[in-house]
Chain A
């Protein structure tokens, strides 16, 4: 099975976010970047399928030189190959989907696995966009699935339950937490990954379809009424919820 796993580089979840000088993106100085946590599930799924069905796992990212780190993490986990598609740095989600799809057309994979969301722009969109660009079926936020020949049966979370979905290979899926338990790369593999080649591909730039007008840090407009645990205060809380906030 020929598998592409798409990975993105994101600020560490505990990073403090500040608005950059352009007023539209974050200040990148001093930010530690990591492999998008959901993409660990995507890589792990690719590796497990290779162990079961044979084939190759190619880790792919659209980014710049600094994105090589996350490709090395994917190689250390066990990916066979890493591809860096260079990008202007101004691409929107569609631009990145376009680059992924153009590359996929050259290798014709059986399966493309993504994370359910990239925790920078949190768009939840890439799997559907890549699927659409390649005229392939896609299933996003897969929490469990089985592959039988070329048939796929998958489950995804919906409001109030789960959906059972049938599709067929070739297909695009995005991974939800719980799909598997991502392995930790072992030290010797981390060392070996450092000298493995990374294929450089030049991305085909397309005009962005959305543009950021401004970025700001959210101002909290919360009431901030903090009370004690006395019976009097609990009574007061219930009154406030009933009479002021009118939520009960």
Chain B
């Protein structure tokens, strides 16, 4: 089984989700794994060697086009006669993967939280119906494409690091491949995004007003965490849209998710229930958030948060 993994450049390295994809490919027992990188600086992918990836094909690009990236990846996979492609289910991966699957007449399994080899077939497990159910899905086609939910699979280094050989892959692109392109990227300066954070501290209507969110921000600071929010407080204009976690917001899987004054409506759970550790602070012991919590404190956020921040600060040294 030959697997192609999409590697996404990030600064002078590659995204952690790309390392998670490599690890997942190894865990499936792939006979060979090849990395593919579109744009960016191929040398930034050297770290992949620590995760056991020795061969990387790179298609240089001066500007980013999702359609050109998809065409390049599909052509590379075809040239390698690969049987599976793994990408991260992030903003880029979700646009590229369906196109690659259509081009290769491959089954596409999005948003996987599990991958397993069952009777020689790769089976993806994925949440559906806002996480209220899970399905195991396999492809009926020779080739298949998987998008993995970021931070659910753990990136593990290989026992033996290998050296990385980077080669250039030159795709055949047509005019229709470059009719959509990214012309600018606007970064949220100075603020950690919930999609990139290892820890998220979220606040809901229990905070009573925007003026009290310093309690949430303060705890987030002690944990080097991002601040998240429920839809109720985003719709009320207390917090910016980009912080919203849930079905209409962002889907996150941090190492720890701390929900403060959030009831745990199913649409909120849809966005955070795959977090590794969930902590809830709510004054109502019947609040549904406690049903998914690893640790809960039944209490008033106005009393609990200052004490908790101070005690956590003593551990983290912040």
Interface residues of A (CB under 8 A from B): 11, 13-14, 16-17, 19, 24, 26, 37-38, 92-94, 97, 119-126, 128-129, 131-133, 135-141, 153, 155-168, 171, 177-178, 207-218, 220, 222-229, 231, 233-235, 237-238, 240-242, 245, 247-248
* Residues of A with C-beta under 8 A to B193: 159-161
Number of interface residues of B (CB under 8 A): 92
The 4 closest A-B pairs by CB, nearest first: A229-B299, A137-B180, A128-B98, A209-B107
Q: Is the CB of B132 within 8 A of A125?
A: no
Q: What residue in chain A is nearest B311 (Cβ atoms)? A: A238
Q: Is the CB of A213 within 8 A of B137?
A: yes
B117 at the interface (CB under 8 A from A): no
Q: How far is the CA of A131 from the CA of B67 in the complex (A)?
A: 10
Q: Quick one: given A139-B180, A248-B312, are A210 and B255 in contact (CB under 8 Å)?
A: no
Q: Is the CB of B135 within 8 A of A24?
A: yes
Contact with A along B108-147 (1 / 0, CB 8 A): 1111000000100001000111111111111111001000
16 new A-B contacts, CB < 8 A, other than A14-B266, A157-B250, A159-B193, are A129-B108, A132-B70, A159-B90, A160-B187, A164-B184, A164-B186, A166-B180, A222-B292, A222-B294, A223-B295, A224-B290, A224-B296, A226-B297, A229-B303, A231-B307, A237-B279
Q: What residue in chain B is nearest A131 (Cβ atoms)? A: B99
B106 at the interface (CB under 8 A from A): yes
Q: What residue in chain A is nearest B111 (Cβ atoms)? A: A122
Residue contacts A-B, CB under 8 angstroms, 28 given: A13-B267, A14-B266, A19-B133, A94-B101, A120-B129, A124-B89, A124-B110, A126-B98, A128-B95, A128-B98, A129-B98, A129-B102, A137-B180, A138-B66, A138-B180, A157-B91, A158-B185, A160-B188, A163-B182, A177-B249, A218-B133, A226-B296, A228-B298, A245-B277, A245-B295, A247-B199, A248-B256, A248-B316
Q: Is the CB of A160 within 8 A of B195?
A: yes
* Residues of A with C-beta under 8 A to B123: 213
Q: How far is the CA of A88 from the CA of B256 in the complex (A)?
A: 43
* Residues of A with C-beta under 8 A to B111: 122-124
Q: What residue in chain B is nearest A245 (Cβ atoms)? A: B277
Q: How far is the CA of A16 from the CA of B130 in the complex (A)?
A: 11
Q: Which of A128, A129, A214 contacts B136 (CB 8 A)?
A: A214
Q: Is the CB of A248 within 8 A of B242?
A: no
Q: Quick one: given A234-B307, A242-B315, are A227 and B297 in contact (CB under 8 Å)?
A: yes
Q: Which of B137, B179, B295, B307 contacts A225 (CB 8 A)?
A: B295
* Residues of A with C-beta under 8 A to B250: 157
Q: How far is the CA of A133 from the CA of B102 in the complex (A)?
A: 7
Q: Quick one: given A119-B247, A141-B91, are A17 and B108 in contact (CB under 8 Å)?
A: no
Whole-angstrom distance between the Cβ of B261 and the nearest chain A Cβ: 13
Majority-rule SS of B interface residues: mixed
Q: Is the CB of B256 within 8 A of A222?
A: no
Q: Which of B182, B290, B291 contacts A165 (CB 8 A)?
A: B182
Whole-angstrom distance between the Cβ of B110 and the nearest chain A Cβ: 5
Q: Is the CB of A209 within 8 A of B108?
A: yes
Q: Is the CB of B130 within 8 A of A13?
A: yes
Q: How far is the CA of A166 from the CA of B67 in the complex (A)?
A: 12
Q: How far is the CA of A155 from the CA of B223 in the complex (A)?
A: 31
Interface residues of B (CB under 8 A from A): 66-67, 70, 89-92, 94-99, 101-103, 105-111, 118, 123, 127-141, 144, 176, 179-188, 193, 195-196, 199, 223, 241-242, 247-250, 255-256, 266-267, 273, 276-279, 285, 290-300, 303-304, 307-308, 311-312, 315-316
Q: How far is the CA of A139 from the CA of B180 in the complex (A)?
A: 8
Whole-angstrom distance between the Cβ of A44 and the nearest chain B Cβ: 15
Q: Which of B128, B196, B296 contacts A227 (CB 8 A)?
A: B296
Whole-angstrom distance between the Cβ of B308 and the nearest chain A Cβ: 5
* Residues of B with C-beta under 8 A to A132: 70, 98-99, 102-103
* Residues of A with C-beta under 8 A to B131: 218
Q: What residue in chain A is nearest B92 (Cβ atoms)? A: A158
Q: Which of B95, B101, B138, B185 contacts A161 (CB 8 A)?
A: B185
> Which of B96, B97, B135, B176 lies at the interface centre, i.e. has the most chain A CB atoms within 10 A of its CB?
B135
Q: Is the CB of B99 within 8 A of A128?
A: yes
Whole-angstrom distance between the Cβ of A17 and the nearest chain B Cβ: 4
* Residues of A with C-beta under 8 A to B295: 223, 225-227, 237, 240-241, 245
Q: Is the CB of B293 within 8 A of A213?
A: no
Whole-angstrom distance between the Cβ of B159 and the nearest chain A Cβ: 23
Q: Is the CB of B140 within 8 A of A210?
A: yes
Q: How far is the CA of A132 from the CA of B97 in the complex (A)?
A: 11
Q: Which of A37, A120, A166 contacts B248 (CB 8 A)?
A: A37
Q: Is the CB of A241 within 8 A of B182?
A: no
Q: How far is the CA of A59 from the CA of B99 in the complex (A)?
A: 24
Q: What residue in chain B is nearest A93 (Cβ atoms)? A: B108
Q: Is the CB of A159 within 8 A of B195?
A: yes
Whole-angstrom distance between the Cβ of A78 and the nearest chain B Cβ: 23
Q: How far is the CA of A41 from the CA of B181 in the complex (A)?
A: 24
